[in-house]
Chains A and B, each alone.
Chain A
Amino acid sequence: MKNALNGWSFASAVPILNSPWWRDPVCLLIILAACPFLLDSYRVSSLASYFPYAMAASALALVWGYCGILALGQAAFFGLGAYAAAKGIESYPVAPGLVAGIFIGCAAAGALAWILARVSFGVRAGAFLISVMTFCTAVAFEQLALKFTSVTGGQNGIPLDRVLPKDPLLSYYIGFVVFAMLLLGMAVITRSNLGRVIASVRDDSMRIRFFGTNAELVQRRVFVLGAIVTAFAGVLDALYSQIAAPDRIGFAFSTFIVLWCAIGGRNSLAAAAFGALLVNMVSNELSGIFLDYWQILLALIFIIVVMFLPDGLYWPIRVLGSRLNAPRPLQLEPAVASSSHPEGPAFVGEKLIQRFGSFTALDVDRVSFDFGHVTALIGPNGAGKSTLIAFLSGALSDAHGKAILVGKEMLGIPIWKVARLGVKRKFQNPRVFESLSVADNLFIGARDPKLRMRDWLVRDQCLPIPEDVMSLARQHGLLARLNDDAGSLAHGQKQFLEVCMVLGSQSQVVLLDEPTAGMESADRAAIGQVLVYLARSGAAVLIVEHDFDFVRSIADRILVLDQGALIADGTVSEVSEDRKVRDLYLGEGG
């Protein structure tokens, strides 16, 4: 009896409560569905007219909270939708006019977002660039709306006849249904495989590139999608407020969208929507001088939320929810090891030169390593070991020379394409996706980096992982913590998690930069075993390591770097007899 109860919880009995993806939107929608029975008709129609705001806030949560793109000009998209709808209905009969408005508004917003994304995302672009560019765009669009009076009606905007039904209840539920569909649609995406990738882009948009994901493309798609949803919200707003006005397109309105989203909670679609509805309902109750104070208070709350409460009002639900949650963990299943590794050299580099300013970090005449072997890379600090690893993973865009990796010339290829050649890199300090669960981290490591249509809709619950990697994960307690955030792991466990992520994808070439730093010798041995096994099954393993005993136990071949140059290359015994190497480690003539 006791045993039977052990696994039981309220959450597991009501499956929908299990996952925040469904729980949050469904709870919000249930409350909203009941509102007409609780509020008077004036408030019901007010609430209905705030649905577009809620959609805009949700779309921003998708873009900002989930994907880490701080877009400060969402009103430009919102306004485009509103003006397009108003122009459509003004120029054509209602039905085709509305359809044209929706189509043109969303297309224009999507195109604008695409252009902004092209300018603002990239390896070298700072995270702030999109914020600045979206902001500038919103200001420019407000000017445009005010200027081209003949098209936009200038300050007065474009008034509309009432398109929605007169009955407040009916018009409320129309908005409700549209809102519900968009909210649930976005929830499907955040829950999907793509959702996991989006979250990993937010956590570390650089790291995800080394797993073969084109982070820039993911950011661009999410941003464009958010813009289209926001434009659609703008269309709806034009219908409810019966006007498309310039105060919906400028940076003041953008500020409000950000404010609703931040106060409600940027990390949840439903919470952001709730924030928009709540703030507007309260504003609706206030008037005159109190409204001024309320605005000031909102600005203060916003600053406090930014500084101390990144989850906004959603914070208590997140804390409670994490107790409630029992998301079904990823099922791991042993993968059939692919044994079709090629023979011969995995990498051949000739005349490789990398300079940082006047400093030459790497200047190697010829260097290579082979499939089926563990190759160790050693040398004193600043010898260029990490530079070589960075080079091999495609992270150095301005290196010179000739470099053939897995049979392909790799110079000038972006990081994610190098990764798709089958090259995976383990960083010196563990770099895992801290806000994702351990299971999701393993998923990111093992998944095929190509995004397919089904990845937008489906969340895989089952994941093939090589048997030896799974046993490594089990031995080090990762399988017991599949549901925990990776950020909550101890340092050593993060090291193991990253090793498992890198090995999980059955790569052809594995680059490891001091994977065992700070580990006990038993743990080192465990990692060593996996690496040797990996090499036996045909992969090329290159490992940077200081501990020579460890190197001796796993490596077939050693490369020694000093001051950017390769000074020795050979078997363990050859290298440890090498005069230059001994000098290097003992000081001159030691």
Chain B
Amino acid sequence: MTITILNSFFGVAVLILSAAGLVVVFGLMKVVNFAHGEAMMLGAYVALIARDWMPFWLGIVVAGIGIGVLGVVIERLLIRRLYRRILDTILATWGLGLLIRELIGAFDPGYSSLDAPFDAPVSILGSDFSAYRLFIIAFAAVLLTAMWVIERFTSLGKTVRAVISDPDLARGIGINVDRVYALSFGTGWLLAGVAGALLAPMVTIAPTMGGNFLVGGFLTTILAGPTLLGIGPAAGLLGGTGGIFATIADATTASIAVLVVAMIAMKIKDSRSGR
């Protein structure tokens, strides 16, 4: 029982990590980033390569910064030209994801794996649970809180909220909206890079690994709506569903269950907002 709950928490944490970057980009720019999974994949590869050169933790920082800078570049080159063409931003990021997969695939990296920096099981209420998984849960909680604090209480967060609620008015009081967009796209990619690097020890690293993360991230993002705070309940619902079904059935059934629950929740949310 304890293990089921902890595993569910871990599932929620993975969803929060995969969705955080998506929500930042979608909430602020209304751009659905279909290359988000590939950004996470790149983060995992940076962590994998960094293993031989530096400590694991430094690798995560490098992954975050590197992927974040890449995000800013991509915003400048691609996304900025496609504002107000929502479907085309989907296609462009979708094509970008394909390009990144093919580029990495051209090196023929096969399947790799990365050891967690610590993996000793710790005992919680009599059950053994991976310390690294515990760390991921804690990290997701801290990340969500930090994002919430930034959004609510810092001047950066207020600027961002101003841009979200009315970009034209934000320009009219002297906010450089284009730069906010570039930075938020960069932040989205940075978060993806960090998430990919952090989760790398938990998965098989391959060019196509992004797809699975992306599904969870998308469903969470859509359920969460445009606010950061929505991630919590959305990830909780989906992660909880996944955790329960993973215990009573298996991982695949769980992911189908998550999809079905997400669809039902979307339908309920939609009919509610109509009133």
Contact = CB atoms under 8 A, between A and B. Distances in A.
Interface of A: 68, 70, 72, 115, 118-119, 122, 124-129, 131-133, 135-137, 139-140, 143-144, 146-148, 250-252, 255, 258-259, 262, 292-293, 295-296, 298-300, 302-303, 306-307, 397-398
Contacts of B250: 147
A410 B91 CA distance: 39
A144 B102 contact: no
Contact of B211 (A126, A131, A251, A298): A251
- Secondary structure at the A interface, as helix, strand, loop or mixed, is helix
Nearest to B253: A147
A136 B238 CA distance: 14
Contacts, number: 109
Contacts of B266: 119
| Size category, B interface | 35 or more
Nearest to B97: A255
Given A124-B274, A302-B98, A307 B81 contact: yes
Interface of B: 30, 32, 34, 78, 81-82, 86-88, 90-92, 94-96, 98-99, 102-103, 105-106, 208, 211-212, 214-215, 218-219, 222, 250, 252, 255-256, 259, 262-263, 266-267, 270, 273-275
Contacts of B273: 124
B95 A302 contact: yes
Contacts of B92: 303, 306-307
A148 B96 CA distance: 32
Given A124-B273, A128-B87, 13 more contacts: A68-B87, A125-B270, A128-B86, A131-B32, A136-B219, A139-B214, A140-B255, A144-B252, A255-B94, A258-B91, A259-B95, A306-B88, A307-B88
A140 B270 contact: no
Closest 4 A/B residue pairs (Cβ): A299-B99, A147-B252, A303-B95, A302-B95
A133 B262 CA distance: 10
Contact of B32 (A115, A128, A250, A292): A128
A131 B98 contact: no
Contact of B103 (A68, A140, A296, A306): A296
Contacts of B274: 124, 397-398
A72 to B, nearest CB: 7
A135 B221 CA distance: 14
A246 to B, nearest CB: 12
Nearest to A146: B252
A262 B87 CA distance: 13
B91 A70 contact: yes
A312 B208 CA distance: 27
B190 to A, nearest CB: 22
Which of B88, B94, B212, B262 is most buried by chain A, counting CB atoms within 10 A of its CB?
A: B94
Given A127-B87, A292-B106, A140 B259 contact: yes
A132 B275 contact: no
B263 A115 contact: yes
Contact of A70 (B81, B90, B222, B275): B90
Given A119-B263, A135-B34, A136-B218, A296 B106 contact: yes
Nearest to A300: B99
A306 B91 contact: yes
Which of A128, A147, A296 is most buried by chain B, counting CB atoms within 10 A of its CB?
A: A128
Given A296-B102, A303-B78, A136 B259 contact: yes
